[in-house]
Amino acid sequence: MPALSAGVSAVELNITATDTTANSFFTVWPDGQAQPLASNLNWVSGEAIANRVIVPVSQSNGEIDVYNLSGDADLVVDVDGWFSGSTYAGTLGNGFVPIMPERVSDTRPGSGQPNEASPLGAGGTENVQITGTGGLDGVPAEDVTPVTAADINVTEATSSAGGYLTVYPAIDLPPVASDVNFVAGDVIANSEMVGLSPSGEVGIYNYTGTTNVVVDVFGYFTPVLQDTVAVTSSATNPIAKTTGTTTLTITVTQGTADVPGDTVVVSESGTCGTFSDVSNSGATNMAGTEAVATTPASGQVTVLYTAGAAGSCTVTAGELETDSSMNVTVTAA
């Protein structure tokens, strides 16, 4: 896994409990933070069980903490992947934003959470609000930051019959699918990545019997902004062939922010002219009809282009990371 300097903000783990001696659960959270009210993996005594978890890491040492409620249990942790970013709090365009775990629904009596004392009966459904929860460090409201999906942990507790739960965007009808499967009296959880309704809710459907449901949120997804390339020419067309030059300015932005460190390739159709200079950039590669540059902090590089023949030529500036590009026409006479 990359070092923290690479911007690791969260990791995807598979957490396994084995050799368990009592009914219990694990809670996973970033080291150095207060233990949250949440569970990631629930089991009954003697069970060996696993669950996938996405959790922020400490930004000072890259570590997580794991808490066991009762009894003894061996813990196995496997790393499946990591997410980039420099902070727990998210903004539009970050893709996945991990947060401190937050409990947003618990149907058990005395839970003090939304949907308290409202177990799901056979064929019953409940809507759980995901956005606008957890304050400044939680999931933002839709009118603050668009949120398309969430990483949640859904726990089934003390069911009266074997069955399953289905988790889905609350705007839809329950699909023919299962997310948490259980037997009577079981306590079991599963991690879900689920889309949200326009109001920021998920729906939970219970197939049969009566059961309590606990929902914890560990992160959310925002729309990812794509880089945009703009290219402009200083020339007043037409320019003189063989001696006429124009300065091409290539700017890479994401939303309203400049994008440094991106690779920009500038090329032209045919053999109309050549690129003879690249300024304000890092490493360059001049190949006559192609120039390669790296955007500096301003997100902007300039390229000097000399027309070699009469006629109109299309110059294309492209950015490799997102395959974004823009054309400009230079005419020589």
**Residues 6 or more apart from 80 whose CB is under 8 A from it?**
11, 12, 13, 14, 52
User: Do 251 and 178 fall into the same domain?
Assistant: no
Which of 163, 193, 221 terminates a domain? The answer is 221
Torsion of CA 20, 23, 180, 124, to 10 degrees: 170
> Which CA distances in Å does 274 have to 145, 230, 234, 312?
45, 20, 16, 14
Q: Which residues constitute the domain of residue 124? A: 4-221
Q: Which two tokens stand for residue 81?
A: 């992947």
Domains held by the chain: number: 2
User: Do 59 and 159 fall into the same domain?
Assistant: yes
User: Do 38 and 83 fall into the same domain?
Assistant: yes
| 50: helix, strand or coil | strand
pLDDT tens-digit readout, 36-85: 999 999 998 998 888 888 888 888 888 999 999 999 999 999 887 787 65
User: Do 232 and 313 fall into the same domain?
Assistant: yes
User: Do 110 and 160 fall into the same domain?
Assistant: yes
User: Do 133 and 238 fall into the same domain?
Assistant: no
User: Do 136 and 171 fall into the same domain?
Assistant: yes
- CATH code of residue 294: 2.60.40.10
- Per-position pLDDT tens, the chain of length 333: 555 545 678 888 878 898 999 999 999 999 999 999 999 999 989 988 888 888 888 888 889 999 999 999 999 998 877 876 544 444 444 578 888 889 999 999 999 999 999 999 999 999 999 999 876 678 988 777 788 889 999 999 989 998 899 999 998 889 888 888 888 988 888 888 888 999 999 999 999 999 999 999 988 988 766 778 888 888 888 888 888 888 888 888 877 778 888 888 888 876 678 887 766 555 455 556 778 888 888 888 888 888 888 888 888 888 876 678 888 888 888
